[in-house]
Amino acid sequence: MRLGADHVRVSVPATSANLGPGFDALGLALGRHDVVEVRAIGAAETVVEVIGEGAGEVPLGEDHLVVRALRAAIDLVGAPQTGLHMVCRNEIPHGRGMGSSAAAVVAGIVAARALIADPDALDDDAALALATEFEGHPDNAAPALVGGATVAWEGREGPRAARLEVHPDVEPWVFVPTVRLATKKARGVLPTHVPHADAAFNAGRSALLVEALTRRPDLLFEATEDKLHQDYRADVMARSTELVRGLRGLGLPAVVSGAGPTVLVLGRASEGDRVARAVAELLGGSDSFDVLTPGLDLVGARSERL
Ligand SMILES: Nc1ncnc2c1ncn2[C@@H]1O[C@H](COP(=O)(O)OP(=O)(O)O)[C@@H](O)[C@H]1O
Ligand SMILES: N[C@@H](CCOP(=O)(O)O)C(=O)O
């Protein structure tokens, strides 16, 4: 495989995984993006510039997550490695449960796909498999790749994802705290075993959530109930847990976004006034959460050759 372009731009959405009961399976792409511009250069050097989220924090050379994913994708298809100049314009906050690491990995893979002569060699299944190797779970990478809502699972031949057509009335409200929580830490507090009744509860709610997301948004409140991860993680995100419980107490379908500590209300567009009243009641003048209405991203990762 040879390279077919030397200058590309990719855009990848933030994602919210789990959506309550769909631990490591369900995910949703949000209208907030990281945009990465990549130049393949002759010189054997890697230079990364980061603007926005992560600037001054992430490494700027071969250890940068986008670079690592891009190089892994280039190796996977047998294309030649190259020097890289990369500019990352990041809108997705890090360590908040909005899929920043998955977006970085998908950005690298999709940039590689745009650079190589035969992009079909890195189709969505291959891209999801590689992204899942980096992430350890496919639920963020799937919607980051294809947009909308997805159900992802570990198939016999690797990770797979099915895209859902989200009902037009479904609207995400996103409460982003200033504090961070590494996904690794939030996974570390989960038990290795759960009661059978809790697993059965979540199986039913996850199935219901697919129906609620696609055809019956009126069922979103009950469909977002969970017993497999949020309570176990309550101690490592006390304020977010309090906010989820407060919002649910007011009848709003609130969940922890991904591994937290961001909170997601997966509601209906018509519930905007109730969400605004809840924000006023529960957050008052506090600035500990930014409230975003990013909308959904129905397309997923995009790339263009420049
Ligand atoms: N755009 C990015 N560029 C480089 N590294 C990134 C980027 N986004 C995330 N990361 C890395 O991933 C870490 C956050 O991953 P994680 O703990 O899984 O949280 P999140 O919920 O945001 O995905 C960051 O601290 C950083 O090391
Ligand atoms: N299913 C994962 C999702 C992690 O999402 P992130 O956005 O927090 O990385 C989990 O709950 O651990």
CA distances (Å), origin 205, targets 61, 64, 96, 225, 232: 43, 38, 24, 7, 18
102 labeled binding residue: yes
Delimit the domains of the chain by residue range: 7-165+296-305, 170-292
Q: Tokens 């199935």, residue? A: 207
Using a 6 Å cutoff on CB, does residue 230 contact ligand 2? Answer: no
The pLDDT value recorded for residue 271 is 92
Dump pLDDT digits (tens) for 115-136. 999 999 999 999 999 999 999 9
> Is residue 286's pLDDT more than 90?
no
Using a 6 Å cutoff on CB, does residue 259 contact ligand 2? Answer: yes
The pLDDT value recorded for residue 128 is 98
97 labeled binding residue: yes
User: pLDDT band at residue 284, thresholds of 50, 70 and 90?
Assistant: confident
7-165+296-305 classified as CATH 3.30.230.10: yes
How far does the centroid of ligand 2 lie from the alpha carbon of residue 222, in Å? 21
> What atom in ligand 2 is closest to the CA of residue 229?
11
N- to C-terminal Cα separation, the chain: 20
Using alpha carbons only, what angle is made at residue 162 by residues 161 and 167, rounded to the nearest 5 degrees? 135
How far does the centroid of ligand 2 lie from the alpha carbon of residue 14, in Å? 12
Determine the residue type at 175: F
CATH architecture of 170-292: 2-Layer Sandwich (3.30)
Using a 6 Å cutoff on CB, does residue 240 contact ligand 2? Answer: no
Dump pLDDT digits (tens) for 198-239. 999 999 999 999 999 999 999 999 999 999 999 999 999 999
The pLDDT value recorded for residue 147 is 98
User: pLDDT band at residue 33, thresholds of 50, 70 and 90?
Assistant: very high
Neighbours of 277 (CB within 10 A): 12
User: pLDDT band at residue 305, thresholds of 50, 70 and 90?
Assistant: very high
Neighbours of 111 (CB within 10 A): 28
Using a 6 Å cutoff on CB, does residue 172 contact ligand 1? Answer: no
Do 7-165+296-305 and 170-292 show the same overall fold?
no
How far does the centroid of ligand 1 lie from the alpha carbon of residue 95, in Å? 6
Strands, E assignment, the chain:
7-17, 26-41, 46-52, 83-90, 149-155, 158-164, 170-177, 254-256, 263-268, 289-292, 302-305
